[in-house]
Structure 1
Amino acid sequence: MFVIRPIQEKDFPELLKIAEESGHGFTSLPVNDELISNKIKRAEASFKSELTEQKQEHGFLFVMEDVATGRIMGTSGIESYVGLDDAFYHYHLGKVVHNSRQLNIYNTADILTLCNDYTGASELCTLFLREEFRKGSTGRVLSKFRFLFLAQHQERFSNTVIAEMRGVSDENGDSPFWKWLEEHFFSMDFPTADYLTGIGQKVFIAELMPKYPVYVNLLSKEAQAVIGKVHKNTEPALKLLKSEGFTYKQYVDIFDGGPTVEADISQIHTVQNSDLFAVEIVNELESDKSVIIANLSVKEFRATGLTTVMNMDAKTVQLTAEYASLLNVQAGDQVRAALLK
């Protein structure tokens, strides 16, 4: 049994361990005590925040906790809006045509153009499940519960939701895509550039990044081969997001070339297929449907995954007293739920 809840100050040691375990390329969790502490404080403030008419960059960071042991199994987050305070960069992969009618020559070339097109979007981020817990449906729940939060609190988020997928890099943190940029523009290795971005020092991007479109065919063959490709550990996450309706529209990370996928919040499958259900307390759960369930709170948010009876016609869902306590709900209270598969 596990519960997903807002991160708390007491989770600092475990979150630091997760940052260390996640490795290079996991920009949203830099291995830095002060920054991780600040990230937790920001999340705590975000969960306590009142809804305002003005858009605010809130960071909702959650942890999955093993109820029996109290261990933190993984983490997952949502940024309400990105790029409002600091520039949010991507490369857009487009094309240019070189055409000479006189010489009867027509060539197309792929180009990478630095842009801020996703400014103001909401972002799914910081998804990491520790290796020992990667079994059963835990990974799907840790990703998908966020769609219940988005569905219930849409007024806090943008219509466009994105997810930056980790690009290709080796066990030493070397990125073929960055290697070319490093050689010609940055004189800085990938882990260092990745770390600086993670701690919020992004000025160097505007200062050193090439100002004009980069012709892809000028990159090394190794760099060209990884544009829009994901790290092997990220493939399951990408597959899940695609099944939810996220699509790749030729935007890639400026460091490792990994793809960014997007969806309209109203078109995300779990958002569309979630609904409000009244809680029905039972002594024992019957094996019926695998579901994800969340209460309707922001500050005291709780979610979990279980197999139970969910009556689509009566709009009721069965919980034992233990599960109801886990979700901070009582008989008759409403929860938001959706089928896991």
Structure 2
Amino acid sequence: MLVVRPIKPQDYAALYDCAVESGHGFTSLPVDENLLQRRIARAQEAFARAQVSEPGEEGYLFVMEDTATGEIAGCSGIEAAVGLTDAFYHYRQGTVVHHSSQLGIYNSLDTLTLCNDYTGVSELCTLFLREPYRKNQNGRVLSRFRMLFMAEFRNRFSNWVIAEMRGVSDADGQSPFWRWLQDNFFSMDFTEADYLTGIGEKTFVAELMPRYPVYTKLLPKEAQAVIGQVHEQTRPALRMLESEGFRSRGYVDIFDAGPTVEAEVENLKSVRQSKCLKVHIGTPADGAERYILCNTSVAEFRAGQALLEPRDEAAVITAETADALGLAEGDPVRVVKL
């Protein structure tokens, strides 16, 4: 069974492999030993905090483990509140109108304005599933279980949650949008800028990024074409988030111009449709459907997909499922249909 659990120090090698395999443009998972070790330590601190009354600096990082082999299939994370210590930058898409009634001229022009509008909101991040496991709806589980975690532990997260979508880049990891910034402002390539941001070195953004609104019409056609567009490999993740209720409101990444989508946590489909039931260990009836389910422990959190039969206020699951998720007869379990 594939089980999602909090990351542990011994998962470092697998996390490093995920960072390598994720490729260019995956800012939240840079190939950097010190940063990855710090992320693991920070996650352990977050899971160890028994009482949290409001979102803060906590960063929750999970891995999906194949319990039969011990192999790590992927990783997934949630930031409780972004931008509280380091500035969290986006470009906000807007419109400026130039109008002369005397000359009969009216021009409506798109702009990009540097902003920190998402400061303090929660973020879904670091979602990566390794190639051999991209089947059997494992990707949906690795993404959607986070909604159950937020539903179960609401005090730990903001009322709003965002997800940054990877923007367009070529096979060499170069972004058409960044190429314009590189030529005019930064004098460094995309992979270097992306790496520096990933390891938390963001001072150069404030120092070098254009401070005034940028007229998108002045950008090269190649850069204009990718604003708000996602990388080909990111489209399935975007479709899944949109099915949950995430929408873009015109915010894009400052490096590759990929869209950021947002939603109110209470309105997420998986949050609204999830239920808290009591475990009953048995044999689900014929026709039982597959659910995503999780226990209600923070430090010993477990989640996965399994056949489940809702029966009154009980969730009928097998002994194997209960054992894998750390559940016993009568324990509370949060569930949502897969």
Identify the TM-score tier after normalising by the shorter chain: over 0.9
SS in 2 for 1:309: strand
Partner of 1:112: 112
> Aligned-pair distance for 1:284?
6.2
Q: Determine the C-alpha separation between the residues in 2 that align with 1:236 and 1:327.
A: 27
1:280-291 aligned within 5 A: 280-283=280-283, 286-291=286-291
> Aligned-pair distance for 1:54?
5.5
Q: Determine the C-alpha separation between the residues in 1 that align with 2:334 and 2:52.
A: 23
Per-residue CA distance 1:262-300 (angstroms, 9 max, x = gap) = 000000000000010111111567441110000001111
SS in 2 for 1:88: coil
Q: Which TM-score applies when normalising by structure 2?
A: 0.98
2:281·2:319 contact (CA, 8 Å) conserved in 1? yes
> Aligned-pair distance for 1:308?
2.3
Q: Which TM-score applies when normalising by structure 1?
A: 0.97
How many residue pairs match? The answer is 338
Letter of the structure 2 residue corresponding to residue 215 of structure 1: Y
Letter of the structure 1 residue corresponding to residue 236 of structure 2: P
Q: Determine the C-alpha separation between the residues in 2 that align with 1:26 and 1:156.
A: 25
Q: What is the percent sequence identity of the aligned residues?
A: 57
From the superposition, tell whether residues 5 and 54 of structure 1 become closer, same or farther in structure 2 (CA, over 3 Å): closer
Partner of 1:266: 266
1:286·1:309 contact (CA, 8 Å) conserved in 2? no
SS in 2 for 1:180: helix
Q: Judge which range, 319-328 or 211-220, deviates more.
A: 319-328
Partner of 1:134: 134
Partner of 2:63: 63
Letter of the structure 2 residue corresponding to residue 74 of structure 1: G
Q: Determine the C-alpha separation between the residues in 2 that align with 1:177 and 1:210.
A: 14
Partner of 1:338: 336
Out of 312, 319, 322, which is 2:320 matched to?
322
Letter of the structure 2 residue corresponding to residue 198 of structure 1: G
> Aligned-pair distance for 1:315?
2.0
1:156-175 aligned within 5 A: 156-175=156-175
Q: Determine the C-alpha separation between the residues in 2 that align with 1:118 and 1:50.
A: 27
2:52·2:155 contact (CA, 8 Å) conserved in 1? no
2:84·2:120 contact (CA, 8 Å) conserved in 1? yes
Q: Determine the C-alpha separation between the residues in 2 that align with 1:70 and 1:54.
A: 34
Q: Determine the C-alpha separation between the residues in 2 that align with 1:302 and 1:286.
A: 26
Q: Determine the C-alpha separation between the residues in 1 that align with 2:328 and 2:133.
A: 29
Q: Determine the C-alpha separation between the residues in 1 that align with 2:283 and 2:301.
A: 24
> Aligned-pair distance for 1:220?
0.6
Q: Determine the C-alpha separation between the residues in 2 that align with 1:284 and 1:97.
A: 62
Partner of 1:292: 292
Q: Determine the C-alpha separation between the residues in 1 that align with 2:159 and 2:54.
A: 15
Which residues of structure 1 form unaligned runs of 5+?
none
Per-residue CA distance 1:179-200 (angstroms, 9 max, x = gap) = 0000000001000000000000
Q: Determine the C-alpha separation between the residues in 2 that align with 1:55 and 1:308.
A: 32
2:50·2:298 contact (CA, 8 Å) conserved in 1? no
Q: Determine the C-alpha separation between the residues in 2 that align with 1:287 and 1:301.
A: 28
Per-residue CA distance 1:48-93 (angstroms, 9 max, x = gap) = 0133446421110000001111100010000000000100000000
Q: Determine the C-alpha separation between the residues in 2 that align with 1:146 and 1:165.
A: 16
Q: Judge which range, 218-227 or 48-57, deviates more.
A: 48-57
Letter of the structure 1 residue corresponding to residue 141 of structure 2: V
Partner of 1:217: 217
Per-residue CA distance 1:124-181 (angstroms, 9 max, x = gap) = 0000000111011101111100000010001110001000000000111100000000
